[in-house]
């Protein structure tokens, strides 16, 4: 399937491929056409064995699952899509969508493409939110769930995300962030990992290009505007009262330095889910596989 990439995506693609090769997964790119929006989902695929669908977080893209892809490719058939407007997937306008229904339709399209009746799912942050939404809508199609990093919809968002839900103000904040020296390093340090020394230098250039893809930042800010207020997440998008309805076995992989939620909040979430176990990862942030990759890979293998 041939897909036409925009100029920024054409610059991003070879940097992504070099990152995947240097980290060890050598994941292959391909596309799935999504008929409801006449748009294309980009997918990174690696390994063999039992399928594992990997849903990335909010202001991210599938290549950031590396180096976890490399560590798990001998055990699982890894399928990591870019959400629309992220990575190499088609840019779209999220405000035109019913976000909850779209999450279900997006995952349905992947299930149908691969012919899956049910599958294990791992989700980071917003990806974890989508995994739980899908489990609530179509529980028969989800086997086990791994929520890595604080999942969306379960905790009050940090103030910076709530502030970023305000139109115009959020655009100004992003403008300031991207103009700051070493902006992507600061983003990783302040929001995503516990220790920058764990990260290879190549990831900063990749992240910088990913954040600057046309439509990427608008999509993220639109999602924040749709789902949050200055005080909290909007009730429609909050999952707290629905957690008891999720009956899959769940593994919470939670960094003890995750700025989106404390260890005590992790324990409260574990209690709220009927069949959850908690692995609190030392010296790890919101993307704990970038801090403690071996720990995460071992925990995932054991759980699945």
What pLDDT, on a 0 to 100 scale, did the predictor assign at position 79? 98
User: Tokens 């704990």 appear where?
Assistant: 288
What pLDDT, on a 0 to 100 scale, did the predictor assign at position 180? 76
Provide the domain limits for residue 207.
7-303
What pLDDT, on a 0 to 100 scale, did the predictor assign at position 15? 96
What pLDDT, on a 0 to 100 scale, did the predictor assign at position 9? 95
| 285 falls within a domain | yes
Buried b (16+ CB within 10 A) or exposed e, 64-100: bbbbbbbbbbebbbbbbbbbbbbbbbbbbebeebebb
| 282 falls within a domain | yes
Say which CATH number the domain at 228 has.
3.40.50.1820
What pLDDT, on a 0 to 100 scale, did the predictor assign at position 169? 87
Question: Of all helices (H) and strands (E), which one includes residue 253?
Answer: strand 250-255
What does the alpha-carbon distance between residue 228 and residue 177 come to, in Å, rounded to a whole number? Answer: 20
What pLDDT, on a 0 to 100 scale, did the predictor assign at position 160? 87
Whole-model pTM: value is 0.96
DSSP structure class, residue 2 = -
What pLDDT, on a 0 to 100 scale, did the predictor assign at position 3? 86
What pLDDT, on a 0 to 100 scale, did the predictor assign at position 183? 87
| 176 falls within a domain | yes
| 217 falls within a domain | yes
What pLDDT, on a 0 to 100 scale, did the predictor assign at position 116? 94
Domain count, the chain: 1
CA angle (74 as vertex; 73, 80 as ends), nearest 5: 20
| 207 falls within a domain | yes
| 1 falls within a domain | no
CB-based contact 222:257 (threshold 8 Å): no
Cα dist from 201 to 10, 204, 296, whole Å: 21, 6, 21
What tokens appear for 235 in the block? 């009730």
| 2 falls within a domain | no
As averages over each run of 10 residues, the pLDDT of the chain (304 residues) reads 87 95 93 95 96 96 97 97 97 94 96 95 98 97 97 92 88 80 90 94 94 94 95 95 97 97 97 98 98 98 98
User: In degrees to the nearest 10, what's the CA dihedral of 258, 24, 297, 146?
Assistant: 70
CB-based contact 27:19 (threshold 8 Å): no
CB-based contact 131:100 (threshold 8 Å): no
């Amino acid at each position: 399937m041939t897909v036409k990439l925009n100029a920024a995506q054409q610059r991003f693609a070879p940097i992504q491929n070099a990152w995947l090769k240097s980290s060890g997964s050598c994941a292959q790119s391909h596309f799935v056409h999504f008929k409801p929006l006449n748009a294309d989902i980009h997918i990174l695929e690696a390994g063999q064995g039992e399928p594992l669908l990997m849903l990335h977080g909010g202001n991210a893209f599938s290549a950031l699952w590396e180096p976890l892809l490399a560590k798990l490719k001998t055990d699982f058939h890894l399928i990591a899509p870019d959400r629309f407007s992220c990575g190499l997937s088609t840019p779209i306008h999220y405000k035109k969508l019913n976000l909850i229904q779209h999450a279900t339709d997006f995952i349905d399209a992947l299930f149908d493409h691969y012919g899956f009746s049910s599958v294990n799912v791992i989700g980071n942050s917003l990806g974890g939110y989508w995994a739980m939404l899908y489990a609530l809508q179509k529980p028969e199609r989800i086997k086990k769930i791994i929520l890595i990093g604080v999942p969306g919809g379960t905790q009050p968002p940090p103030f910076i995300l709530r502030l970023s839900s305000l139109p115009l103000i959020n655009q100004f904040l992003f403008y300031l962030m991207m103009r700051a020296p070493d902006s992507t390093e600061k983003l990783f340090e302040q929001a995503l990992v516990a220790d920058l020394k764990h990260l290879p230098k190549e990831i900063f250039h990749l992240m910088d290009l990913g954040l600057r893809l046309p439509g990427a930042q608008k999509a993220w800010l639109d999602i924040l505007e749709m789902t949050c207020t200055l005080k909290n997440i909007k009730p429609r998008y909050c999952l707290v009262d629905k957690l008891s309805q999720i009956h899959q076995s769940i593994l919470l992989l939670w960094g003890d330095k995750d700025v989106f939620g404390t260890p005590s909040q992790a324990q409260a979430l574990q209690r709220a889910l009927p069949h959850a176990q908690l692995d609190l990862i030392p010296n790890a942030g919101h993307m704990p596989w970038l801090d403690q990759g071996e720990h995460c890979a071992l925990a995932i293998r054991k759980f699945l």
